[in-house]
A and B are shown apart, each in its own frame.
Chain A
Amino acid sequence: MSNIKLELTNVSKRFGGNQAVNEVSFVIDQPQLVGLIGPNGAGKTTLTNMMSGMTPTSSGTIYLNGKRIDGLAPYNVARSGLGRTFQVTRALRRMTVLENMMVPALAMHPRANPKHLEEKARDTLQFLTIGHLTNEFGRALSGGQQKLLELGRLLMLDPSVIILDEPFAGVHPSLQETIYEYIHRVREDGKAIILISHDMGAVFELSERLIVLNFGTLIADGDPKDVKNNPKVIEAYLGEDEKE
């Protein structure tokens, strides 16, 4: 998986008079876990939406493994190798857990034997500790279980870059452990992960690299220890108390 390359160059987004993201550039060229943090309104979600094709960019380019993905429809971005979860879980509520898993599997592998894909889906659900809910409707799952289902769907999509948007929000500590395990497994599989979270403990524990946004601008990018001590970050994100 050393051929991973996600490259953002001067990516900007303007909503009317609001510059949500301003000339953001970075490259992820190896399997690593990158934390993307910033205070509320920093532009994390907008940047995520632009990377996944949900929101068009105002300017700048996004390349994934040599293919330009800005301007592509979300399904095309997903098929190009970038998968994402949503801040608010988006389980397909009136479809069973297994059907939820089969959607990305069949979208990615239309000619594959559905039996094999189903087997993989069941194994994945077992790993995520929700195997016993295979035939339940998505709406019957708790919030945490829906988060796990979203993560499972990403494994079926099998992208090279994964964006996890607030995977720990509102999740019971026991499920949080499962998500940690998931992240480690995905990381070991040679994928790049962009982790967006307000759980600073988790971000600093898991991330190998940290990107910080503030008011839509990238203010720091590097080793989490260095970023933590970056005066700009302390001032903008961690607050005056931390500075002292």
Chain B
Amino acid sequence: MVNLFKQIESVIDSSLGRRNLGFLFMGFVVLFFIWFPTDPTQSNYAKTVFISGFFYAIMASSWALLAGIAGQFSFGHMAFMGIGAYAAGFIARDGITFAILGIEITPDSISTIVAILIGTFVAGFVGLIIGWLLLRLRSSYLALFTIAFSELFRIVMLTEYDYTGGSNGLSLRRLVDVADVDAARQIEYYLMFGLLVVSLLLMYIVSRSRIGLFLRAMREDEDAASALGVNIVLYKVLIFVFTSMIVGLAGAVFYSNVGSERIIPEQLEILQMSLVIAYAVIGGMESLLGAAAGAFISRYLLEAMRVVVINLPFGLKMPDGSDAFVWETGAWRFALFGLVMILTLRYMRNGLLFPIIQWFTGRDSAMLETVSIRETDHSAKPKLEEETQ
């Protein structure tokens, strides 16, 4: 089996190449997502599940950038998403007044898109403050701080019900105002998918740039990175602002009747944040694509597993006379999901999908190559090899 895999691998390497194969595969995936809503057999419910998958893919991949690549293990991601959504909702409902500038924008004069953009900037601004407050905090302290911040925000939204709607949540203005429900769903689908693609591209550009290199250096060792000339303060704040704006935008769009009718404080609970982290961990928290794919697949499976139906073979019957085993999983699907996460952390710390992505990039072969050089290059550096042992 291993030999067969090696043979296939060498054929791919000598013909198309892994990287090109990866791009080809990605192309097919994108085409599939573009085609999906045009298929008349797909229900609006299925499209809604996909929209939710895209939303959580944005959440998980941006968290992967923040925690997996930049090393800032934050639990405040859902809170920033909520800030974007609530701020967009408040502005669209009540307008905004800049007393110092003497400018008053009424709800009638503000478009939904502008409200969403303002919500995005508000999330970025809060990210700036939180990023600055977190400058001296690392690892567990950073996590605890962001949990406290997240809970603080949730409780304020829950308590100030006159303004926020409390546990009933806040309805945002509809972003896609089209009478035809099917057409609206299709537009909303493409909107969320487009947002995911753009977010991933932006985050990919950042992670592959000089900034991405510095973020990873910061993740590895803040003191060492700083001693090498990296402005830790700047990049720490920058990554909080950047990821806060991405999730703020995603939240504001998703809750503008694109994926959900209203934002409720329940969405800001630690459990929801834990799910985002779990999606990223299962996909691969050091890979944007891995985390996004992990989130989408997990969301889809969690939805698909609401009811498990297994048709019994050989004419077998259940005690009630039916020919299928039906299991309404309820909370058990989350238990199963937790088990997958435990096994991932124990046996595949880089996630289930990251090794596949790594294979496509050819990174593992490059590593093996240098290891083999080290192992065979005894004549060039005999003493060095002794040291390596």
Contact = CB atoms under 8 A, between A and B. Distances in A.
B230 A103 contact: yes
A74 B216 contact: no
A180 to B, nearest CB: 14
A220 to B, nearest CB: 28
B228 A153 contact: yes
Interface stretch (B45-53, B179-187, B277-285, B377-385): B377-385
A93 B220 contact: yes
A14 B72 CA distance: 32
A189 to B, nearest CB: 18
A52 interface: yes
Contacts of B229: 75, 78-79, 103-104, 107-108, 157
B356 interface: no
A142 interface: yes
Interface in B365-389: 366-367, 369-371, 373-374, 377, 380-381, 383-384, 386-388
| Residue in A84, A110, A132 whose Cβ sees the most chain B Cβ within 10 Å | A132
Given A90-B221, A103-B213, A54 B227 contact: yes
B230 A145 contact: no
A83 B388 CA distance: 27
Interface in B340-370: 366-367, 369-370
B224 A86 contact: yes
A102 interface: yes
B296 interface: no
B232 interface: yes
Contacts of B380: 132
A95 interface: yes
A92 B210 contact: no
B160 interface: no
Interface residues of A, number: 46
Contact of A110 (B210, B219, B386, B388): B210
Contacts of A76: 231
A130 B383 CA distance: 12
Interface stretch (A34-42, A133-141, A193-201, A231-239): A133-141
Interface string B221-257: 1011111111111000000000000000000000000
Nearest to A144: B387
Contacts of B213: 95, 99, 102-103, 106
Contact of A135 (B226, B370, B381, B383): B370
Contacts, number: 118
Interface string A72-106: 01111011000110100011111100010011101
A93 B383 CA distance: 23
B56 interface: no
Contact of B227 (A78, A91, A95): A78
B366 A92 contact: no
A172 B225 contact: no
A172 B384 CA distance: 8
Q: Which 8 A-B pairs have the closest CB atoms?
A: A174-B383, A107-B229, A90-B224, A172-B387, A74-B226, A92-B220, A104-B228, A78-B229
29 contacts: A54-B226, A54-B227, A74-B227, A75-B225, A75-B226, A75-B227, A78-B226, A78-B228, A91-B224, A92-B216, A92-B217, A92-B225, A103-B214, A103-B217, A103-B225, A107-B228, A132-B370, A133-B370, A135-B370, A136-B367, A136-B370, A136-B371, A142-B387, A142-B388, A144-B387, A145-B388, A172-B387, A174-B386, A175-B384
Given A74-B226, A103-B214, 15 more contacts: A73-B232, A75-B229, A76-B231, A92-B225, A93-B221, A103-B230, A106-B213, A107-B230, A130-B384, A132-B373, A132-B380, A133-B370, A135-B367, A136-B370, A175-B384
Interface of B: 210, 213-214, 216-217, 219-221, 223-233, 366-367, 369-371, 373-374, 377, 380-381, 383-384, 386-388
